Chain A
Amino acid sequence: MADQDKQAIKNNVLKTMFVYFSSLLDREVFDRNKELAGEVYDIIVKPTQVYPQSAQLIIRKGFPNRKYALVDWKDITNLESDTKEVRLGIDKAKLVFEERHDNKEELTLRRDILDQQVVDTHNHKVIRINDIHLLFVDHALMVAHVDISTRGLLRRLGFEGIADFAVRIFNPNAKYLKAEHLISWKYIQPLSVNPASMTIKVDVPEKQFSSIPAADLGDIFLDLNIMQQVLLFKSLDIKIKAKVFTHIDFKTQKLLVEELAPSDIVEIINNIPSDEATDFLEKLPKKDAEKILALMESNYSRKLSQLLGYSNDSAGGLMVTEYLSFVKGTTVESALKQIKERTFKVEPAQFVYVVDEGNKLIGCTNFRRMILASPQDLLESVIFPKLYSVHLDSSVKEVAYLMEKYKYYTIPVVDEGGILQGIVTVDDVLSQVIAIAWRRFKNMKVAHKNNL
């Protein structure tokens, strides 16, 4: 057999195995006695494993007073891709027609999927569905793919034949004719809202959300409207929630937090990195931040509220509170003796600070100057001629600049009254500066990529 024939047979088989939902719509439905019962309006599907299966058919009759009736799938005797009608095995008198059709809890194809927005977890996008590709399985239909292509759009409009013809004339091998742009249902997360329970139907938990890079997940979220954002977020598991939360803007974060139960908020804060947590809490109004902290486990909340006191890129946020200082009037000899006797958690480098009785910073010296001085000299006589210090709210850039300029390994931090509060060491500054530089470098790379 020629290859062409094989291909034709294969196409034929595919054609009879699959059917587009749009081609089923409005098909006439006949009952057992070949009397017209109505037309196909919608299909209710049941989530079984990955691909939902048809459970009931909704048929419609009458105009303008439309009425709708449900038919169990087992009562359908004939529904094929190439016949233009549907036949039922029951009497049409048995059908119960009602005014409403859209109050069903289950997922229905026309109401919840066709023409609606969904999340495509494969291509990490929010998309609108132009058609649904159904597969015949043991007399039932299975939702296999969704179609988001222009060709699907044209099919719905009734222009597919004309468009195909036109494209074929210009380019018989056009990508348009081959690429079906079908996306497997396993990657589709519907966003339709159940009005009764105000939840989004998640038929397969997680729907590959865990495989989406966090940044893309954040982008998907920003494409949704408020309601979808809140409801989809609620339906996710905590790991994904944390991932999403750290990759959306503050406005959306705040919005989500306002809609969530306190226990959920605490769970999220506990599951995101502490710098992200402080970043978020910092931007909240103080009252709200305190409320969240009060709900949290005490150890972690204490750590966070401490960090929160200072912005994390200021001297106050970077400093350590262990340092060497002596009240003025101390001799070099007694200072050196005290240094030898003390133990330190963190090595405080070789700088020694001289303060007055109120801990106000007077001067700074180092070990070398102290060793070279005579033991009876007072500390204030061996300090550096000039004193440099930073304020609690000085930026990390300022701190880095001063350290580089004066070759300091540590720099003292003072408050408005000049009272010594702590010191910033070079390694903490360096890690901050590297982070800034790295972010910039990354942005440059992204910008570079986008320009290509």
Chain B
Amino acid sequence: MKRTWAKIIIFLSVMGPGIITANVDNDAGGITTYSVAGAHFGYSLIWSFVPIIIALVIIQEMSSRMAVVTGKGLADLIREEFGVRVTFYAMAVLIFSNIFNTISEFAGIAASAELFGISKYTMVPICALFVWWLIVKGTYKSVEKVFLLACLFYVAYIISGFLSKPDWSQVLHSSVQPEFRFDKAYILMLIGVVGTTIAPWMQFYQQSSVVEKEIKLENYNYAKLDVIIGAFVVNIIAIFIVLVCANTLFKNGIRVETARDAALALRPLAGDYCFYLFAFGLLNASVFSACILPLSTAYSVCEGMGWEVGVNRRFRQAPQFYTLYTAIIVLGAAVILLPNVKLVPIMLISQATNGMLLPFVLIFMLLLVNNKRLMGKYTNSKAYNIISIFVIVAMISLSTVLLFTTFVH
């Protein structure tokens, strides 16, 4: 009994990076994709979350393991092993892609503000200021607590899922029995759902935050558990988002294009509570991601370039870190405040740059995790390598297809 408690306490001290990283996956863009998937295809895409969980666990586990074994961030390792040139261009693309990702998070904030009847001109600046203040004034520990709290708020989607009264036996049936359709729209949606799962910044963020937590090798199994729980939680929430839209919008044949449309269409069908919970979920997810994306960018870039890093430092001690962080937030919020801003091209650019960077990041990871000098006996086993290569090839080809289809459209 005592040992169980000791284990639980160790886990609580290790927990965080995996769960937080996975949850940011359900950001404004993710919620939109899942809403559309549910509204257009009902339960028929739910099965795809099973392989997504596996892919997420495999890839995030490698990040986590590298962090624990080497004590270094991914950008650090890329710089040390592949040199400054590769790092520089990778970081340049990362900055570019994360600026657009951040803009789409602020778009999510603006959309959810409108759902609550608040003008985006008040909500977006307030959120931007909050996000900025949180990191500049906080310490790593306090920031992580706020992030874990934000993860808890995702429960809003689970409640709204129950409020929409799903047909559980059918949900179970469609999650274990893959239903595949050879129609173009279905395949594109499938690619969209899988493609939003793994983004380049996630690997950087997760590895840095495990390093910052100073998790020890002997507690590595707990960090693994953190990753696994994160992958399950994030996908269960995604399933509930699909459920809400499937039970209401799909049944009534309503087609939506954004999470905001989905929420508005929900109101007459599922009631005010469901609507508010859905809108709150979107707001929480957007603010949370708007916080993590600039943070993760600043971390990775400064790590790679050898500049002072850290939430625990003051502005004067880490000028590049805070300048980058502030600039991305300001830019992200400012673009959304422009009158008549078009969101579709922003989403496209963010998806495209993610898709371009992802293959490189995943291949770097695979090379690094198999480097004996860095990882010692903690390199991938042969079987693990085969699975991870399969996952990586699948992710790369899916995101490439996604890249092409979005531009062909």
Contact = CB atoms under 8 A, between A and B. Distances in A.
Interface of A: 102-103, 115-117, 125, 127-130, 148, 153, 156-158, 195, 225-228, 251, 255, 450
Contact of A115 (B83, B214, B314, B373): B83
B79 A128 contact: yes
B72 A115 contact: no
A102 B375 CA distance: 14
Given A128-B79, A157-B88, A228-B71, A251 B214 contact: yes
B272 interface: no
Contacts of B76: 117
B72 A225 contact: yes
B306 A148 contact: yes
Contact of B71 (A127, A158, A227): A227
Nearest to B71: A225
A255 B314 contact: no
A161 B168 CA distance: 66
Q: Which of the listed residues B76, B84, B88, B314 has the most CB atoms from chain A within 10 Å of its own CB?
A: B84
B216 A226 contact: yes
Nearest to B303: A128
Nearest 7 CB-CB pairings of A with B: A128-B306, A225-B71, A156-B84, A227-B71, A226-B71, A115-B79, A102-B373
Contacts of B387: none
Interface string B46-86: 00000000000000000000000011100010011001110
Contacts of B37: none
B contacts with A: majority SS: helix
Contacts of A195: 373, 376
Contacts of B216: 226, 255
A contacts with B: majority SS: mixed
B230 to A, nearest CB: 22
A109 to B, nearest CB: 13
Contacts of B80: 115-116
Interface string B310-321: 000010000000
B211 interface: yes
B305 interface: yes
A255 B85 CA distance: 36
Contact of B306 (A102, A127, A227, A251): A127
Q: Which of the listed residues A127, A157, A225, A255 has the most CB atoms from chain B within 10 Å of its own CB?
A: A225
A297 B367 CA distance: 51
Interface string B95-129: 00000000000000000000000000000000000
A156 B70 CA distance: 25
Nearest to B310: A223
Contacts of A115: 79-80, 83-84
Contacts of B71: 225-228
B214 A157 contact: no
A153 B314 contact: no
Given A117-B306, A128-B306, 8 more contacts: A115-B79, A115-B83, A127-B306, A128-B79, A148-B306, A156-B85, A255-B216, A450-B314
B213 to A, nearest CB: 10
B214 A226 contact: yes
